[in-house]
């Protein structure tokens, strides 16, 4: 438990491709996850968004978290933290919380082009 009395969600150190876009925008951007929990995700990006930016995220359900092969996780959330890159030739990171999420079965839509 933390000093504030709640237990932090377990983080899984999973590297996988993640697609994200600011809410209301059509174009998806791509990054790579560093870790994932039930409450959020930390991921590497080439361009940082502002803290509190609302966004949509999509990534494959890791086998460490779920059992349905090929399923996608579709989420809404907000940027809660940004981490500047340590050097100009490296990536920055963003942490996003999940305000809602759903599982898209493997038989359903599962690419950014399929999600409007």
Q: What is the mean pLDDT of the chain?
A: 87
- Is 5 domain-assigned? no
User: Is residue 62 within 8 Å of residue 72, measured between CB atoms?
Assistant: no
22: CATH: 2.40.10
- pLDDT tens digits, 50-73: 999 999 999 998 766 666 667 899
How far is Cα 51 from Cα 80, in angstroms, rounded to an integer? Answer: 5
User: Is residue 96 within 8 Å of residue 77, measured between CB atoms?
Assistant: yes
pLDDT score for 7 = 65
pLDDT score for 88 = 87
Number of domains in the chain: 1
- pLDDT tens digits, 32-49: 999 999 899 999 999 999
- Is 83 domain-assigned? yes
Residues 31-57 as b or e (16 or more Cβ within 10 Å = b): bebbebeeebbbbbbeebbeeebebbb
Residue 42: strand pairing partners: 35, 95
DSSP string, 61-101: --TTT---TT-EEEEEEEEEEEE--SSTTS-EEEEEEEEEE
The range of the structural domain enclosing residue 54 comes to 17-104
- Is 89 domain-assigned? yes
How far is Cα 103 from Cα 55, in angstroms, rounded to an integer? Answer: 17
- Is 112 domain-assigned? no
Structure tokens belonging to residue 68: 């349905």
Global pTM value: 0.83
């Amino acid at each position: 438990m933390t000093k504030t009395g709640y237990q932090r969600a377990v983080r899984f150190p999973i590297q996988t491709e993640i697609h994200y876009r600011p809410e209301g925008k059509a174009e998806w951007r791509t990054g790579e996850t560093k870790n994932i929990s039930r409450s959020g995700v930390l991921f590497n990006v080439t361009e940082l968004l502002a803290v509190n930016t609302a966004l949509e995220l999509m990534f494959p359900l890791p086998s460490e978290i779920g059992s349905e092969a090929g399923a996608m996780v579709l989420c809404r959330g907000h940027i809660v933290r940004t981490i500047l890159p340590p050097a100009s030739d490296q990536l920055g990171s963003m942490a996003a919380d999940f305000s809602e999420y759903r599982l898209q079965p493997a038989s359903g839509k599962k690419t950014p082009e399929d999600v409007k």
